Amino acid sequence: MQCPMCKKDVQESFEVASNNREPFTAVHALQGLFAWGGYGVPRTVLCENEEFVHFSFDFNGEEHLVKMVKYDPKAIAIKHQYWNENPEPCEHDGCTEMGIPRYLHSIDTEPMGWYCNEHTKEGGFCWMCSTFAAGTEAFDFSSTGLCGSCQEELEDEMSEDFDIDRDWF
């Protein structure tokens, strides 16, 4: 991709939802870590405007272009409601059920996939929060189909002695 300000090619480009530019922050922490690097990593801003920040890491010279998108939870909720009201078929081969929109991150406005509750885990999504969780130990080795956060939240709501794998499934 090319920086729209200086026209230089960059190695990596990202889109980050944030309402704050200093220090580099993102609503989704992992997304911010990929785009900006670690909090204390030395970097030099090469050029920026209201929409983009083009910078390089001081230790290796790698350049990133980050498009800043205003975090608007109301707009996200409206878009999620739209997708919930306009379902598409489950993507699992042979399934005839309507799917539920599943997202890479909860702040995404476009679904990454459509899966019914029966096939959600096979698609790599948590059935409770609808976000992608495959590749995490809590999700991959759980019989619940829940990501670690949802599993912890449900256990906290039930009781201190409640074990979701043992007592629910």
Tens-digit pLDDT profile for residues 134-163 = 999 989 998 889 999 898 888 777 766 656
pLDDT band at 107 (very low <50, low <70, confident <90, very high): confident
Q: What is the mean pLDDT of residues 43-64?
A: 92
Domain that holds residue 90: 73-167
Final residue of a structural domain among 22, 48, 70: 70
Other C-beta atoms lying within 10 Å of the C-beta of residue 91: 15
Looking at the fold, whether 64 and 81 belong to one and the same domain comes out as no
Looking at the fold, whether 37 and 60 belong to one and the same domain comes out as yes
Phi-psi category of residue 145: left, alpha or beta, with phi > 0 → left and psi -120 to 50 → alpha: left
Report how many domains make up the chain. Answer: 2
Looking at the fold, whether 133 and 154 belong to one and the same domain comes out as yes
* Model pLDDT, residue 154: 83
Looking at the fold, whether 31 and 114 belong to one and the same domain comes out as no
Looking at the fold, whether 128 and 145 belong to one and the same domain comes out as yes
Looking at the fold, whether 79 and 65 belong to one and the same domain comes out as no
Name the nearest CA neighbour of 132 among 143, 142, 122, 141: 122
What's the pLDDT tens digit per position in 119-136? 999 999 999 999 999 999
* Model pLDDT, residue 153: 86
**Tokens linked to 33:** 């870590």
**Residue 3 counted as domain residue:** no
Looking at the fold, whether 63 and 81 belong to one and the same domain comes out as no
**Residue 2 counted as domain residue:** no
Using an 8 Å Cβ cutoff, are 129 and 106 in contact? yes
